[in-house]
Amino acid sequence: MLLEGRSVLLGVCGGIAAYKACELARLLLREGARVQVVLTPAAAQFVTPLTFAALTNRPAPVDEFAAAAAGGETYSHLELTREIDCFAIVPATANTLAQLAIGSAANLLTACYVACQAPVVIAPAMNARMWRHPAVQANVDSLQRRGHLLVPPGTGELACGDTGAGRLAELTDIFAAIVAACADRPAGPDADEPALAPLPAGDLAGRRIIVTAGGTREYLDPVRFITNASSGRLGLNVVSELARRGARVELLETGIDVDIALEAQLSARETVRTAFDLRAELRRRLPGAAALVMLAAVADYSPAEYRNTKHKKDGSPWVVEFVETPDILAEAAAHREPGQVLVGVSLEDTDWLARGMKKARAKHVDMLLAVELGADLPFGDSRLNCALVDAERELVPAGRRAKAEVARLLGDWLATRLDAAQE
């Protein structure tokens, strides 16, 4: 987990985007952080303190004096900021930006800011005209000059119906900023542990690695396609493992769901649909990459003819001719750069180990993950009966393994191979 042992104070201001802070709190908790929420009085009009208390299992104070009268901390703004790793203000309204800029302690949230000595992340959200106002921009400049990490608002349709810059940034960007803000802080007040980094240095540090995941779609007409049952979970496990080891991971996926915390670890992400889309995107991205981990379940066949309009039922059979799709991995091997490492996957129901080695020879790749397709289909399952093989032998013996373990084994092999290729 990216924020294991970290303490984040989440300040919520009064804007329509306040509801998104609920999802951010859940994300931070899921990644191991201890989350304490503090609200402005206006924020409590949009999302109740009880909502945040239920999500974090901690009271979410709004007023310092009310908290003291109820038997809480007398100096809440001091206690709330005493041992935190980051103070994230999401969303930050124009009013709160002005108070932060002048150091006003008009409410509990802004008093926490004045008392805070931890890194501060600010994600503004407001109407586009308000965001462009010179006074707001002057306040933003002032806060940035103090070294605070500002996550600029996105552009698009706003809640009021206007269009422009002002909507809250994507939660993936805000989450990544919080992780980065925690990077140089110890894991606890007296910890001797190494600092956290968004992409921890490791045996794949700085390597640019492309991972493909999910099943391609081969379209017959605008609404119909053939595909397979690939869930993409193995590819996502591999992405997480490679990023944990410091790689700069680029994910090419076929429309699968990607967790917001995982997306924050990616160097790039592109959605491709067909085998031909994937082939074109790989041709663009492969130059300069250290490795390709080809785990996408690419369809073996595609309709020979694509209809530009929906095929109508007319009472007669619809006969469709299929043609083989290109062997994308073999093409990548034929045009690989010196030292570039290629990894693929082989899924077979008979002679699966031997066929995996045969594919490794035929495609001229460095390693294949050979997977047995048995009665219990591996698609979506958390475990695989698999082995790592090259053209001649088993590199890791066959066995039933969790996909997370398979990802770790693949990462081990890839790190060793890339080191050897560099020597």
Phi, psi at 19, each rounded to 5°: -65, -25
* Relative orientation angle of helices 49-56 and 20-30, to the nearest 10 degrees: 10
Is the CB of residue 63 less than 8 Å from the CB of residue 92? no
* Relative orientation angle of helices 233-244 and 403-422, to the nearest 10 degrees: 50
**SS3 of 293, please?**
strand
Residues that are catalytic: 160
Residue with structure tokens 């390709």? 292
**SS3 of 241, please?**
helix
Q: Report which residue type is found at 153.
A: P
Is the CB of residue 174 less than 8 Å from the CB of residue 198? no
* Relative orientation angle of helices 134-145 and 94-102, to the nearest 10 degrees: 50
DSSP state letters, 254-271: SS----HHHHTT-SEEEE
Q: How many CA atoms lie within 13 A of 397 on its CB side?
A: 1
The CA distance from 134 to 163, in Å, is: 19
Is the CB of residue 238 less than 8 Å from the CB of residue 410? yes
The CA distance from 92 to 167, in Å, is: 11
Residue with structure tokens 């004045």? 114
CA-to-CA separations, 364 to 306, 334, 397, 421, in angstroms, rounded: 32, 8, 21, 16
Q: How many CA atoms lie within 13 A of 237 on its CB side?
A: 21
Q: How many Å separate Cα 154 from the centre of its chain?
A: 18
CA-to-CA separations, 88 to 128, 143, 150, 340, in angstroms, rounded: 22, 13, 10, 41
Contact residues for 224 (Cβ-Cβ < 8 A; gap 6+): 310, 311
Is the CB of residue 373 less than 8 Å from the CB of residue 388? no
The CA distance from 284 to 364, in Å, is: 21
